[in-house]
Amino acid sequence: MAERLAKKVLLVGWDAADWKVINPLMDAGEMPALESLVNQGVMGNLATLDPPLSPMMWTSIATGMHADKHGILGFIEPAPKAQGVRPVMTTSRKVKAVWNILMQNGLKTHVVGWWPGHPAEPVNGIYISNHYQRAHSPIDKPWPLQPGTVHPKEMESIFDQLRIHPAELSGAHVQPFVQDLAKIDQEKDKRVESLARIIADAATIHNAATYIMETETWDFMAVYYDAIDHFGHGFMNFHPPKMAHVPQEQFDLYKDVVNSGYRFHDLMLARLIELAGPDTTIVLVSDHGFHSDHLRPMGVSKVPAGPADQHSPYGIIVMKGPNIQKDERIYGATLLDVTPTLLPLFGLPVGKDMDGHTLVQAFEEGFIPEMIDSWEDVEGECGMHHKDLQEDPWASQEAMEQLIALGYIDKPDENKQKALDNAVNESQFYLARVYVNKSKFEEALPILQKLWENEKQSRFGFQMARCLLEMKRYKESQAVIDVVRVVAKKEHKENIKKQKEEAKKRLEEAKKKQKEEGKQAKEIQTEPIKQRDKKQKERPFQSPQLELMQGRLDLEIGKYMKALESLEKVEKATPRLPGLHQQLGQVYLKMKLWNKAEDAFNKALSIDPHSAHAHNGLAETYIRQLRYVDGAEAALNSIGLLYHYPRAHFNLGLCLARLKRTERAAEAFEVCLKMAPKMKRPRRLLVRLYKGPLKTPDKAEAHQKVLDEETAS
């Protein structure tokens, strides 16, 4: 066992926290607790995974593994005995979480609110499930804890008393979020009721966490807050700067909600820091960010998990404690790196089967973490549920209704078998996207083909065409794109029809309600609804993402002018679409128009400065212009945003080799090959470097052997 680097560790999860909102608040002195952690520790972006769905992401954080390994695939799963569907449960996680590994090594662990976290796991400390905080009854009705919410069971009565019902909150509790609370007609506008629920839920989780920290001994504590994500989904459209489609009156009422939500979390964080004490290592993370600027979508996709459209690809990470660097930035971190970084803090090895890496750059002294083949092979009590455990269906239904209310999932059809089939299809689609995210296109393709054969949904076909494109099966990809275009146009028409029907229904309901209130016909105020209905004219069908893929396909097969035609069509319709100018830059690179390529990548970065692909495109442009210093800087910027990006490591190595920094170049090429072992060019360059300036013929021979074997096969 290696040296233990932390006395205690507190892991805090803030779902959807984003530096774009945090940094201005810290600069204004409005998040002093988080700022203290940043100034005394390290901070950085935390790259998310695809699909960016919270149950999958938080399980990857807790295990260091992709979803194809840990088994959590979306929000719902089939219920036992074919009884329809249920929210995803802890019993579906196939591998150990970090707290299970720590318990197995004699360390006292507590977990509060982790998602998915029901039923509570039988760890050697206290485990509070993510069903704990949800008020499922009016305040004048009984509100019993659901079975399996608290472990150990004998502590249920204590934690029952720590819960806060939304109806307990007064105007004084809500007014810090909405200054002009008195101006809101809460009978008509239910946003205040939603806001009270978010605040009460967060405060309930905080009560449980602080009680444990005050009364229990612990080595490891994990607490998860989902409120920032809910503040975002409910109120980010009112966040400054004002979006064009948001009425001024509503903007004025709700523009402070998101910032106030972050301040609220900072207040709670201050108490956690105080209770943890100075000797505790504190790690704060989010699973993804949340678009808060011009990248905010006007609406969300009409598909299950559509609200994820509002998520941005980078969350946050902050670490502070003994042996952690002070006031430094770290680069290239991903969700998968959290558990492989937590284990060495306790002197424990990292599993070789984990997909993440230890963030050694965060520590004051460098070290090579010890490794173990797999923690799954280590026997002994670890606090996981027995595989045969059956859940209470009533508890599952309560959580299901919460997910429906949040818009993450559609209401299941009364036909349980259909609901079950939909759940299975959805989880398979997410699994395919996990494989695509891991560049395992061969594994993703048959799943997508089956989904596409069963039901012609454009999202299934889009991902299938992408897989075929990545596998260089260009004719097949084009054939699928052509069909997807037809399907997507049909879906568009159906959505417009549905929107018109909904607008008509809202108008009729408004008239009926106002008549019931005794208003005369001439007093009925339905003009805003009428105007909204008029705007529901059938817009010309546009699919920018499909045109981007068409442009990419034409680029791959050498039809550069046709690719430009597709991309210029997108630029005319949506000139600030993320990814558009990055792809235009790639076309200009192929056409050897270096200046136009550079302009395109810079335009992409003006839209989204956090685009790793645009930074890497800029690196490739500089390489073509023999500007190797600039190229190395651009490649490093790309790697800093997305460490697991082999092409960026290759470009970095190429620039360093041209600058005669051969040792660093070899390191970059080696990292590239660890991520993409089938890439031949970095291996060939390594053979040259090891034979020549680095004078290590044994390494050159090893790489040459791999090349020879690939050629022979």
Question: Residue 691's pLDDT band (boundaries 50, 70, 90)?
Answer: very high
Residue 565 CB coordination number (10 Å): 14
pLDDT of 392 reads 40
Residue 391 pLDDT > 70, yes or no? no
What is the rounded distance in angstroms from the CA atom of residue 408 to the CA atom of residue 315?
20
Contacts of 127 (CB under 8 A, 6+ apart): 110, 111, 112, 117, 120, 121, 150, 151, 383
- Segment among 439-448, 512-521, 528-537 with least mean pLDDT: 528-537
Cβ 77 vs Cβ 88: under 8 Å: yes
Whether a cis peptide bond, with omega within 30° of 0, leads into 116 is yes
pLDDT of 142 reads 86
Domains along the sequence of the chain with CATH: 8-78+85-164+197-297+306-313+343-377 (3.40.720.10), 610-712 (1.25.40.10)
- Report the C-alpha dihedral over residues 285, 291, 294, 295, rounded to 10 degrees: 110
Higher local confidence (pLDDT), 262 or 571:
262
Cβ 295 vs Cβ 23: under 8 Å: no
What is the rounded distance in angstroms from the CA atom of residue 104 to the CA atom of residue 378?
9
- Segment among 31-35, 281-285, 293-297, 602-606 with least mean pLDDT: 293-297
pLDDT of 388 reads 66
pLDDT of 390 reads 43
Backbone φ, ψ for residue 622 (5° rounding): -65, -35
Query: Residue holding tokens 């400065």?
Result: 609
Residue 408 pLDDT > 80, yes or no? no
Q: Mind listing the pLDDT tens digit for each residue in 614-652?
A: 999 999 999 999 999 999 999 999 998 888 889 999 999
Cβ 49 vs Cβ 308: under 8 Å: no
Contacts of 381 (CB under 8 A, 6+ apart): 103, 104
Residue 415 CB coordination number (10 Å): 11
Q: Mind listing the pLDDT tens digit for each residue in 296-349?
A: 988 888 788 888 999 999 999 999 999 999 999 998 899 999 999 999 999 999
Question: Residue 536's pLDDT band (boundaries 50, 70, 90)?
Answer: very low
Going by C-alpha positions, the residue among 63, 205, 70, 227 that lies closest to residue 126 is: 205
Going by C-alpha positions, the residue among 576, 90, 540 that lies closest to residue 296 is: 576
Going by C-alpha positions, the residue among 226, 208, 185, 207 that lies closest to residue 406 is: 226
Cβ 284 vs Cβ 317: under 8 Å: yes
Taken as a whole, the chain contains a residue count of 713
Three-class HEC string of 489-550: HHHHHHHHHHHHHHHHHHHHHHHHHHHHCCCCHHHCCCHHHHHHHHCCCCCCCCCHHHHHHH
- Segment among 415-424, 479-488, 549-558, 702-711 with least mean pLDDT: 415-424
What is the rounded distance in angstroms from the CA atom of residue 360 to the CA atom of residue 365?
8
Query: Residue holding tokens 């299901």?
Result: 400
Backbone φ, ψ for residue 372 (5° rounding): -135, 145
pTM listed for this prediction: 0.88
**Amino acid identity of 191?**
R
Q: Mind listing the pLDDT tens digit for each residue in 562-621?
A: 999 989 888 888 888 878 999 999 999 999 999 999 999 999 999 999 899 999 999 999
Q: Which 8-state DSSP code applies to residue 324?
A: B
pLDDT of 271 reads 98
Q: Mind listing the pLDDT tens digit for each residue in 115-129?
A: 999 999 999 999 999
Beta strand spans in 35-136 (E): 42-47, 76-78, 85-87, 109-112, 127-128
What is the rounded distance in angstroms from the CA atom of residue 326 to the CA atom of residue 242?
37
Query: Residue holding tokens 């779902």?
Result: 15
Whether a cis peptide bond, with omega within 30° of 0, leads into 119 is yes
Cβ 383 vs Cβ 103: under 8 Å: yes
- 3-state helix, strand, coil split of the chain in percent (to 5) is 55, 10, 35
Compute the average pLDDT of residues 407-422.
Answer: 71
Cβ 684 vs Cβ 675: under 8 Å: no
